[in-house]
Amino acid sequence: MALYTRVKESIAVITLKNPPVNALSTAVRRGIVESLSQALQDEQVKAVVFCGENNTFCGGADIKEFSGSMSGPPLVPMIHSIEASEKLIVAAIEGVALGGGLELALGCHYRVADTNARLGLPEVTLGLLPAAGGTQRLPRLIGITAALELITTGRHISAKEALKLGIVDQVIEGNAVLAAMALALSVIGQPLNARRLSLQAPAWVPDVDYVCEAALARVKQRSRGAMAPVACVQAVRAAAMLPYSKGMEKERQLMDMLFRSSQARAMQYAFFAQRSAGKWSLPNGAQWNNTKARNVERVGVIGLGTMGQGIAVSLVKAGISVVAIEVDTKQLELGKKAVTAMLQRYAQRQGVSSPLHLLKFTLSFHQLRDVDLVIEAVFEDMNLKKRVFSELCKVLKENTIICTNTSGLNVDELAAVTDRQHLVVGMHFFAPAHVMRLLEVVYGSGSSPEAVAIAMALGKRMQKVCVAVGNCSGFVGNRMLKHYMDQSVYLLEEGATPEQVDQALEEFGFAMGIFKVADLSGLDVGWRVRKASGLISPDIDPVKPSRWRFGRRYCPLPDMLCQQGRLGQKTGHGWYLYNSPGSKEAKCDPEILKFLEDYRLKYGIIPRRISSQEVIERCVFSLANEGLRILEEGITAGPEDIDIIYLFGYGWPRYRGGPMFYAAQVGLSVVLEKLEHYHHLQPDVPSLEPSQLLRKLVAEGSPPIQQWKSHIKNLHSQL
């Protein structure tokens, strides 16, 4: 709703009230229309100030309403009547003015913002465009180039930047509502037409076509296959080329096309999934709102390799003191140099003072005696990690939390060597740890809810998107990835090339195809894991290695590449060829094509043509099937957690929601049918066997993804 108040003699204040972010729900829009009409009818009122309750102007349209039938006063005419008002209207922006919230403010004649306010038009991140006049008013206010940048990225900007761009008229420290009233009193009586953005001439630039084409190329490269950024460019272009009313028509047409699109639904699902992942819960009933996390101020980081460096940088950026440890002076100096350089670059970019005083580098474990939490980031080797954990227990305070940064080792086995199994959790960061947003917080069978709460809270402070997951081999992300990777190499055996598979995956929307990712990470990473798990052993024929291991289909191609020293980008060749070791541009390698031909000949495989559809079905559905098994086993609390892991850690296209959302969107019965088909063709690939949960969900009529949790609960109670 909206609250109407008369203050001073001549000013009315309309306060948006819809906690927590005063989203423009039906009730709020109704309240605005009624309050505005009241203000316009009251002869004593000469000016109106719009503000939001609890120092929050407005977080935009109510996204929850988008999935229903939209009712109540529409935003466009409502903002129009604000702009057309004969009485002066000022927006007092505190907290946030986002999406429809900023569009409402753009309809006002003046805008005052508090110094801490954040403004933006993030609709593109929800698969939409600012369709309440934002694409037409903003370019008229700040010009095409700046508007294109803001609207196509959805970036939130500070009040200071908004002032510089000309979006707000004043930035004040203190009470924005009082400042808006003061501004109103100082300009009452001045003509308003110059302040009505819809009356301004289109925002002229010398070469609109060139600017828009360049923006189009940028968005297509940045968000391959996404419709909304393209529509945003088209709408802003209309602001430059057409009169306001025609521009609004274009905005509306483009919104009609986006609003019910599968991409918009996926991105709005992702918005809520991200928030739901933060509300973690454990199988024992402990959860985010019934478990207290004590504060962490000092953290030890053990190991300053690539992962340790990134973790230390993220901690310091969050204002946390770090004691960083290495085994010898040389490693310590290397780590120190890298961490220092990253933090100095960060301080320079942000224009903040360097946070280096928060860091201590040492070779001595004794320096860890008063830290609140330790993150071990040594080499991925169980015995080494066990030794580190035992040593830690000798020096740490009795309530210090011990975290292991592992990408898949057994957290329980590690916890067993400590004197505090309840304080041990996994923190699986993704490389580079100071850049990647995802953090899997892995609870073992003995981890206490408090330890999980502390790790989740610490991750959040480090600006990570944290997901609590149970302890199983590879945890969630890597466990699922294994099946996706297996299918991709089987496809090579059967006739595909690395480029063909990658192209299909990139057309699907992945930031990078699987073989490019493997080259980037280094093929030796998986090789080591396969050796450790016994899949590679000395008794395997080196000339014609078996294609079956432990009674299942196995593809030895990646091992054969490693044996040839083709480890990926770092050696200048892997699945692709690179100009030199370390260079990034992947080129098709005729040697690989020949190698694949020889391989097929050697094993008597007759190559066949493989379609992009088959690539997607086999890679993506096997990923989703494993996700369903993970849900079945209770490793995550719900499908949203899995989708968030894939969106933030594995380059899954946001406009496809995540693997679980995608499976639901394609149709669970289709996924079931395809998996049955492929499993029939590959009976020695057990992971293609449709999961029990998939069969159950299909049998129960393929409920929407939001209802899966209750079906999973029933499944557990039947087991």
Ligand X SMILES: CC(C)(COP(=O)(O)OP(=O)(O)OC[C@H]1O[C@@H](n2cnc3c(N)ncnc32)[C@H](O)[C@@H]1OP(=O)(O)O)[C@@H](O)C(=O)NCCC(=O)NCCSC(=O)/C=C/CCCCCCCCCCCCC(=O)O
Active centre residues (catalytic): 103, 123
How many CA atoms does the CB half-sphere of 161 hold within 13 Å? 11
Residue (78 or 401) nearer to ligand X, CB: 78
> Rounded CA gap, 87 and 82, in Å?
9
CA distance 406 to 26: 47
CB 492, min distance to ligand X, A: 41
**DSSP code at position 58:** B
Token pair of 321 as six digits: 């003191």
Residue 364 backbone phi and psi in degrees, to 5: -100, 125
Q: How far apart are CA 236 and CA 144, in angstroms?
A: 7
**Residue ranges in 15-44 that form contacts with ligand X under rule CB under 6 A:** 20-21, 23
Token pair of 152 as six digits: 């196509």
Which CB, 211 or 466, lies closer to ligand X? 466
The least CB distance from residue 251 to ligand X, in Å, is: 9
59 binds ligand X (CB under 6 A): yes
Q: C-beta of 98: minimal distance to ligand X in Å?
A: 4
Q: Report if residue 54 touches ligand X, rule: CB under 6 A.
A: no
In sign, the C-alpha dihedral spanning 130, 139, 113, 8 is: negative
For helices 612-632 and 477-494, the axis angle rounded to 10 degrees is 150
User: Is the peptide bond prior to 432 cis by the omega test (within 30 degrees of 0)?
Assistant: yes
Size of the site for ligand X (CB under 6 A): 27
Residues 634 and 499: their CA atoms lie apart, in Å, by 36
Could you tell me which of 163, 52, 154 has the C-alpha nearest to residue 99?
154
Q: Is 346 in the site for ligand X (CB under 6 A)?
A: no
Sequence-separated (6 or more) residues with CB below 8 Å from residue 340: 356, 359
Cα gap 559→476, rounded to integer Å = 24
Q: In the complex, which residue's CB is closest to ligand X? A: 99
Instruction: Tell me: does residue 131 bind ligand X (CB under 6 A).
Output: yes
Q: Which is nearer to ligand X, 70 or 199 (CB)?
A: 70
**Taking CB under 6 A as the rule, does residue 255 contact ligand X?**
yes
Question: Pick from 100, 310, 649, 657: which binds ligand X (CB under 6 A)?
Answer: 100
Kindly write down the DSSP assignment for every residue of 559-608, as one continuous string: HHHHHTT--BGGGTBSSSB-SSTT----B--HHHHHHHHHHHHHHT----
Q: Kindly identify the residues of this chain, within the stretch 474-503, that bind ligand X according to CB under 6 A.
A: none
CB of 63 or CB of 431, closer to ligand X = 63
Query: Which of 173, 256, 333, 391 is the binder for ligand X (CB under 6 A)?
Result: 256
Cβ contacts of 325-332, under 8 Å, gap ≥ 24: 325/300, 325/301, 325/361, 325/362, 325/363, 325/364, 325/365, 325/367, 325/368, 326/361, 326/363, 327/363, 328/363, 329/363, 331/304, 332/304, 332/361, 332/362, 332/363
Are the C-beta atoms of 183 and 169 separated by less than 8 Å? yes
Q: Which two tokens stand for residue 543?
A: 């000339």
Least distance from C-beta 600 to ligand X, angstroms? 50
Instruction: Provide the angle, in degrees to the nearest 10, between the axes of the packed helices 134-142 and 227-241.
Output: 60
Q: How far is the CB of 77 from ligand X (least distance, A)?
A: 11
Q: Is 659 in the site for ligand X (CB under 6 A)?
A: no
Please check whether residue 101 is in contact with residue 57, taking contact to mean a CB–CB distance below 8 angstroms. Answer: yes
Mapped onto helix, strand or coil, the DSSP state of residue 56 is coil
Three-state DSSP at 708 gives: helix
Q: Residue 125 or 421: which CB sits closer to ligand X?
A: 125
Six-digit token pair at 402?
């011990």
Least separation in angstroms between CB 625 and ligand X: 29
Stretch that binds ligand X, among 92-100, 165-173, 295-303, 424-432 (CB under 6 A): 92-100
Which of 132, 325, 368, 517 forms a contact with ligand X (CB under 6 A)? 132
What is the four-CA torsion angle of 267, 268, 273, 276, rounded to 10 degrees? Answer: 160
For residues 634-653, one letter each, b for 16 or more C-beta atoms within 10 angstroms of the residue's C-beta and e for the rest, the string is ebbbbbbbbbbbbbbbbebb
Comparison of 279 and 594: residue with beta carbon closer to ligand X: 279
Applying CB under 6 A, the span of 55-63, 398-406, 456-464, 563-571 interacting with ligand X comes to: 55-63
| Least distance from ligand X to the Cβ atom of residue 540, Å | 51
- If one asks whether residue 649 binds ligand X (CB under 6 A), the answer comes out as no
Among 12, 61, 211, 238, indicate the residue that binds ligand X (CB under 6 A). Answer: 61
Nearer to ligand X, 385 or 464 (CB): 464
Q: Which is nearer to ligand X, 50 or 365 (CB)?
A: 50
- For residue 217, give the 3-state DSSP assignment: helix
Minimum separation from the CB atom of position 274 to ligand X (A): 8
User: Could you tell me whether strands 96-98 and 157-158 are parallel, antiparallel, or unpaired per DSSP bridges?
Assistant: unpaired
Smallest distance from ligand X to CB 123, Å = 5
Pick between residue 135 and residue 291 the one whose CB is nearest to ligand X: 135
To ligand X, the closest distance from the beta carbon of 652 in angstroms equals: 20
Each residue 266-305 as x (binds ligand X by CB under 6 A) or -, in order, gives ------x--x------------------------------
Helices 227-241 and 208-222, axial angle in degrees (round to 10): 170
Extract the runs of DSSP E, i.e. beta strands, from 53-103: 88-93, 96-98
Q: Does 126 bind ligand X (CB under 6 A)?
A: yes
> How crowded is the C-beta side of 44, counted as CA atoms within 13 Å?
8
Answer yes or no whether residue 672 interacts with ligand X by CB under 6 A.
no
Least spacing, CB of residue 23 vs ligand X, in Å: 4
* Among 14, 79, 90, 99, contact with ligand X (rule: CB under 6 A): 99
Tell me: does residue 235 bind ligand X (CB under 6 A). no
Contact 105, 91 (CB under 8 A): yes
Site stretch for ligand X (CB under 6 A), options 118-126, 305-313, 492-500, 657-665? 118-126
Crossing angle of the two packed helices 244-259 and 262-278, in degrees rounded to 10: 70
Determine which residue in the list 75, 230, 277, 664 makes contact with ligand X, applying CB under 6 A.
75
96 binds ligand X (CB under 6 A): yes
Q: Binding ligand X by CB under 6 A: which of 8, 64, 294, 677?
A: 64
Nearer to ligand X (CB atom), residue 77 or residue 582: 77
Residue 151 interacts with ligand X (CB under 6 A): yes or no:
no
Residue closer to ligand X (CB basis): 101 or 202: 101
**Which of the ranges 130-138, 201-209, 301-309, 546-554 carries the binding residues for ligand X, by CB under 6 A?**
130-138
Question: In the set 27, 33, 40, 63, which binds ligand X (CB under 6 A)?
Answer: 63
In the complex, the smallest distance separating the C-beta of residue 108 from ligand X, rounded to whole angstroms, is 16
Is residue 449 close enough to count as binding ligand X by CB under 6 A?
no
DSSP-derived secondary structure for 634-659: TSSSSHHHHHHHHHHHS---GGG--H
Query: Is residue 249 at the binding interface for ligand X, with CB under 6 A as the rule?
Result: no
Judged by CB under 6 A, the residue of 187, 220, 259, 346 near ligand X is 259
Comparison of 248 and 307: residue with beta carbon closer to ligand X: 248
In the bound state with ligand X, the residue whose beta carbon lies nearer, of 103 and 559, is: 103
The minimum distance between CB 59 and ligand X, in angstroms, equals 4
Q: Which residues bind ligand X (CB under 6 A)?
A: 20-21, 23, 59-64, 70, 75, 96, 98-100, 122-123, 126, 130-132, 255-256, 259-260, 272, 275
